[in-house]
């Protein structure tokens, strides 16, 4: 083969390599510059750590299905003879939050491990997975919420009581992330009465013991007063008078101490202390921050897409698909 032909073939090879390199670079940019719609990596795995120390590795999407089943599950019977599924769009919206929570958790810890308990991370219950939950998760496969390129803190709760809270108000956070907002959710005809409204009666002895369990020891509680309310009218601080002095406790800390299944929210309408008894009533269920599950149900029934449901509760977020 003559030298001229060799040089010609070499030039062609270089041109082809440059063209292919440009194609790969263009593909690499597309996943970063297309507004987040292109998937940029393979589906990750996650190692679930159970309370008994058992560990189980699984694909992220399988984990998300178990979380949606654990955190939302199925609707309890209401006039019908068996449990019913939530609208698929509501499951799909919950999946976006569950996936976002998990991705952020793994990013912050630097490991692929996540607890299986609700108190430490998210509730996981694969026994509750239904076909509707599987469809909802697959519908939003790989989708997470981001704000300015970072995965957000994906807070959610059962029911807003008519208005969601900021993180500072509902969770006693020092600062409100820019993507968390308080939104008016309006009336909700779908929420069950026992979720929409609640009431509780506790003796002050019960309150004293519950506070001590959370290392809030004021001695024997003698009086409890509402000290402060936030923009959505939730109680942000209680003043507790005890035999060891007076102490101010955040609304969320007090709710968790006496039991979030009893004092279901800090959106309190009536709060009275007398004759050694605390009596209170209010609206909503949970801390009130982020997505309200029962309002997501309403939005789904109104025809909103999963992405539209999520964007209703969060400010300025971008939903990105990280994997196909």
Measured in whole angstroms, the distance separating CA 27 from the mean position of its chain's CA atoms is 32
Give the count of beta carbons closer than 10 Å to the beta carbon of residue 240: 24
For strands 55-59 and 45-49, give the pairing.
Answer: antiparallel
Q: Is 20 part of any domain?
A: no
In this structure, are 201 and 243 located in the same domain?
Answer: yes
Q: Is 98 part of any domain?
A: yes
What is the C-alpha separation between 323 and 317, in angstroms, rounded?
18
Task: DSSP letter for 165, please.
Answer: B
In this structure, are 244 and 229 located in the same domain?
Answer: yes
Tell me how many domains the chain contains: 2
In this structure, are 69 and 123 located in the same domain?
Answer: yes
Q: Is 36 part of any domain?
A: no
Beta-bridge mates of residue 11: none
Q: Is 204 exposed, middle or buried (0-12, 13-18, 19+ CB in 10 A)?
A: buried
In this structure, are 277 and 224 located in the same domain?
Answer: yes
In this structure, are 237 and 308 located in the same domain?
Answer: no
In this structure, are 148 and 296 located in the same domain?
Answer: yes
Q: Is 178 part of any domain?
A: no
Contact 222, 240 (CB under 8 A): no
What is the C-alpha separation between 173 and 156, in angstroms, rounded?
15
| CA neighbor of 105 nearest in space, from 149, 41, 155, 71 | 155
Q: Is 61 part of any domain?
A: yes
In this structure, are 106 and 202 located in the same domain?
Answer: no
Q: Is 166 part of any domain?
A: no
Q: Is 50 part of any domain?
A: yes
Q: Is 214 part of any domain?
A: yes
For the whole model, what pTM was predicted?
0.84
CA dihedral angle for residue 304, residue 307, residue 125, residue 157, rounded to 10 degrees: -80
Per-position DSSP letters for 44-69, written without gaps between them: PEEEEE-TTS-EEEEEHHHHHHHHHH
In this structure, are 246 and 148 located in the same domain?
Answer: no
Q: Where are the alpha helices (DSSP H) in the chain?
A: 3-33, 60-71, 88-109, 131-139, 167-171, 193-196, 204-213, 251-258, 293-301, 306-313
Sequence-ordered list of residues with C-beta below 8 angstroms from that of 36, at least 6 positions apart, any chain: 146, 318, 319, 320, 321
pLDDT digit string (tens) for the chain, length 324 residues: 444 443 444 443 333 333 333 333 332 323 333 334 455 679 999 999 998 989 999 999 999 999 999 999 888 766 655 678 999 999 999 999 999 999 999 999 998 999 988 878 899 999 999 999 999 999 999 999 999 999 999 999 999 999 999 999 999 988 899 999 999 999 999 999 989 999 999 999 999 999 999 999 899 999 999 999 999 999 999 999 999 999 999 999 999 999 999 999 999 999 999 999 999 999 999 999 999 999 999 999 999 999 999 999 999 999 999 998
Measured in whole angstroms, the distance separating CA 6 from the mean position of its chain's CA atoms is 63
What is the C-alpha separation between 31 and 190, in angstroms, rounded?
40
The predicted structure's pLDDT at residue 117: 83
Contact 211, 221 (CB under 8 A): yes
In this structure, are 61 and 139 located in the same domain?
Answer: yes
In this structure, are 266 and 295 located in the same domain?
Answer: no
Sequence-ordered list of residues with C-beta below 8 angstroms from that of 163, at least 6 positions apart, any chain: 182, 183, 184, 185, 232, 233, 288
318, containing H or E segment:
strand 318-321
What is the per-residue pLDDT across 246-270, written as a single tens digit (0 to 9) for each? 999 999 999 999 999 999 999 999 9
| CA neighbor of 252 nearest in space, from 279, 216, 277 | 216
Q: Which domain holds residue 212?
A: 193-283
What is the C-alpha separation between 98 and 42, in angstroms, rounded?
18
In this structure, are 254 and 299 located in the same domain?
Answer: no
Q: Is 172 exposed, middle or buried (0-12, 13-18, 19+ CB in 10 A)?
A: middle
Sequence-ordered list of residues with C-beta below 8 angstroms from that of 201, at least 6 positions apart, any chain: 277, 278, 279
In this structure, are 61 and 144 located in the same domain?
Answer: yes
């Amino acid at each position: 083969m003559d030298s001229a032909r060799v040089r010609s073939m070499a030039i062609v090879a270089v041109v082809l390599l440059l063209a292919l390199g440009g194609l790969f670079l263009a593909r690499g940019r597309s996943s970063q510059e297309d507004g987040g719609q292109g998937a940029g990596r393979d589906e990750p795995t996650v190692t679930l750590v159970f309370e008994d120390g058992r560990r189980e590795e699984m694909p992220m999407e399988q984990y998300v299905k178990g979380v949606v089943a654990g955190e939302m599950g199925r609707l309890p019977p209401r006039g019908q003879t068996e449990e019913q599924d939530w609208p698929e769009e509501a499951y799909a919206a919950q999946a976006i939050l569950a996936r976002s929570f998990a991705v952020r958790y793994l990013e912050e810890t630097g490991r692929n491990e996540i607890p299986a308990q609700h108190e430490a991370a998210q509730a996981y219950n694969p026994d509750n997975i239904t076909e509707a939950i599987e469809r909802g998760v697959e519908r939003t496969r790989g989708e997470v919420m981001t704000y300015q390129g970072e995965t957000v803190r994906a807070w959610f709760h059962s029911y807003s009581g008519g208005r969601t809270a900021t993180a500072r108000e509902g969770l006693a956070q020092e600062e409100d992330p820019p993507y968390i907002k308080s939104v008016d959710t309006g009336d909700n005809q779908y929420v069950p009465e026992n979720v929409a409204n609640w009431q509780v009666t506790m003796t002050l002895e019960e309150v004293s013991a519950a506070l001590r369990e959370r290392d809030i020891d004021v001695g024997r509680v003698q009086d409890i007063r509402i000290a402060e309310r936030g923009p959505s009218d939730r109680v942000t601080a209680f003043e507790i008078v005890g035999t060891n002095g007076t102490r101010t406790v955040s609304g969320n800390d007090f709710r968790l101490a006496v039991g979030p299944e009893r004092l279901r929210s800090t959106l309190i309408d009536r709060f009275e202390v007398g004759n050694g008894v605390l009596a209170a009533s209010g609206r909503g269920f949970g801390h009130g921050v982020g997505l309200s599950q029962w309002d997501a149900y309403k939005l789904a029934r109104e025809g909103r897409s999963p992405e539209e449901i999520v964007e209703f509760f969060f400010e300025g977020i971008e939903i990105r698909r990280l994997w196909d």
